[in-house]
A = this chain, B = another copy of it.
Amino acid sequence: MDAAPCIAVDAMGGDTGPAAMIAGLARAHRRDSKMHFIVYGDENLIEAELAKHPKAARAVDIVHTSEAIGASEKPTQAIRRARTTSMGMAINAVKDGKANAALSGGNTGALMAMSKLALRTMPGIDRPALAALLPTLGDTDLVMLDLGANTECDAQNLVQFSVMGAAYARTVLGIAKPRVRLLNIGTEELKGTGELKEAAALLREADYLPLAFNGFIEGDQLSRGEVDVVVTDGFSGNIALKTAEGTARFVTDLLRRAFKSSIRSKAGFALSKPALELLKVHLDPNNHNGAVFLGLNGLVVKSHGGANPKGVANAIRVAAQMVANDITNKIGDDLDNFRAHAFNHEAA
């Protein structure tokens, strides 16, 4: 492998076939022309899209397959088709050392199951987690995990997620000692489940880790910009993420109604439009596209199925940053450190 990252792309996973994936890839390539790509899927469809982006086409190898994982296909079925489907082949490219990261906009459950089977979890990690960036009022986004890979988690899982999330914040956001909190229904020590209390106790003791554990956080504080990493089980994380998305859309829908409610407010809208565009950019999920499966022996990035080319380019940028910063090894070092201390602690 070269120094420049190579990304294995599942071209068939998004909601609209390869169009957005290829246009996004071209966009990412314009930003960094050293990148290259192996694109898996229907050769004819991929070539038709690449014809629109001749410069990027030169950085692409196509591997043809007519099989793709369906949006509602069960993970247990999908894993049997790992060798023949565009999603499975993209993941295997990472496993075989042909690519540094895989990208897919397809079925999350299938992507997770296939990635776990092909790449296996890192030593010290019991379960991988899905992590993504969320917008805040602060200067940087926050990292949140798990967003749906694990419905139920124990204290050890939550500690491991904290280590992985902090590594994400260090490598992608450039924060030396990220502020980490556990999502809970109150900030007092006695609140929440037994798993949360135990995880908090473990993290409070692990002061040698490159993170600052600040206790619990409630859902209404997520976007205040006062935390860098929020850790939770996959059920609560998915509920929080989707509720935040839905509420942002709800408020902007109400805003649209308000602006349309009178001629006067329509004029007000016309005047405010450039400023409101900034709001739109801030809330556009495409600017936060690219959720990462952390804790595997290799990088897999999930793009939103409905992402536009800008969104796909963002997901590719996330993957490239993680490759460049060698996040997998950084997580490994932190985990070794954690286990060595825990062992000494037990021995003492």
A148 touches B185 (CB 8 A): yes
A136 to B261, CA, bound (A): 18
**CB contact between A242 and one of B148, B218, B261 (< 8 Å): that residue:** B218
Say if the beta carbon of A250 comes within 8 Å of chain B.
Answer: yes
A154 on the B face (CB < 8 A): no
Contact flags A249-270 to B (C-beta < 8 A → 1, else 0)? 1111111001101101101111
Tell me what chain A mostly uses at the interface: helix, strand, loop, or mixed. helix
**A220 at interface, CB cutoff 8 A:** yes
Q: How far is the CB of A280 from chain B (nearest CB, A)?
A: 9
Selecting from A35-43, A111-119, A186-194, A336-344, the interface stretch reads: A186-194
A218 closest partner in B (C-beta): B242
- Comparing A89-97, A204-212, A230-238, A313-321, the segment that makes contact with chain B is A230-238
CB contact list, A263-294 vs B, under 8 A = 264-265, 267-276, 278-279, 282-283
Chain B residues positioned under 8 Å from A72 (CB to CB): 188
Pair A242/B258 contact, Cβ less than 8 Å: no
The answer for the CA separation of A193 and B235 in the assembled complex, in Å, is: 9
Q: Is the CB of B253 within 8 A of A185?
A: no
* B238 and A240 contacting across the interface, CB-CB below 8 Å: no
Tell me which residues from 124 to 142 in chain A have a Cβ below 8 Å from any Cβ of chain B: 135-137
A185 adjacent to B268 (CB under 8 Å): no
A151 to B193 alpha-carbon distance, docked (Å):
7
**How many of A's residues come within 8 Å of B, CB to CB?**
63
- Closest Cβ neighbor of A261 among chain B residues: B275
Residues from chain B with a CB closer than 8 A to the CB of A240 are 219, 239-240, 243
**In the assembled complex, A325 has its CB within 8 A of some CB on chain B:** no
Least CB distance, A267 to chain B, in whole angstroms: 5
Contact of A253 (CB < 8 Å), options: B137, B192, B221: B137
Q: Does A248 contact B (CB under 8 A)?
A: yes
Bound CA span A207–B49, Å: 51
Q: Is A171 an interface residue (CB 8 A)?
A: no
Residues of B within 8 A of A47 (CB): none
A88 to B: closest C-beta gap in Å? 21
Output the least CB separation between A320 and chain B (Å).
Answer: 28
Contacts of A251 in B (CB 8 A): 247-248, 251-252, 279, 283
Pair B275/A267 contact, Cβ less than 8 Å: no
Residue of A136, A193, A262, A268 ringed by the most chain B CB atoms within 10 A? A268
Closest to A74 in B: B190
A282 to chain B, nearest CB (A): 6
Establish whether residues A238 and B268, one from each chain, have CB atoms under 8 Å apart when the complex forms.
no
Task: Assess whether B249 is in contact with A220, with CB atoms less than 8 Å apart.
Answer: yes
- Which residue from B188, B222, B242 sits with its C-beta under 8 Å from A246? B222
Closest to A242 in B: B219
Is residue A152 within 8 Å, beta carbon to beta carbon, of the partner chain? yes
A-B contact pairs, 5 of them (CB 8 A): A137-B253, A185-B242, A223-B250, A236-B239, A254-B282
- Which positions in A face B, CB cutoff 8 Å? 72, 74, 135-137, 148, 151-152, 183, 185, 188, 190, 192-193, 218-224, 232, 234-236, 238-255, 258-259, 261-262, 264-265, 267-276, 278-279, 282-283
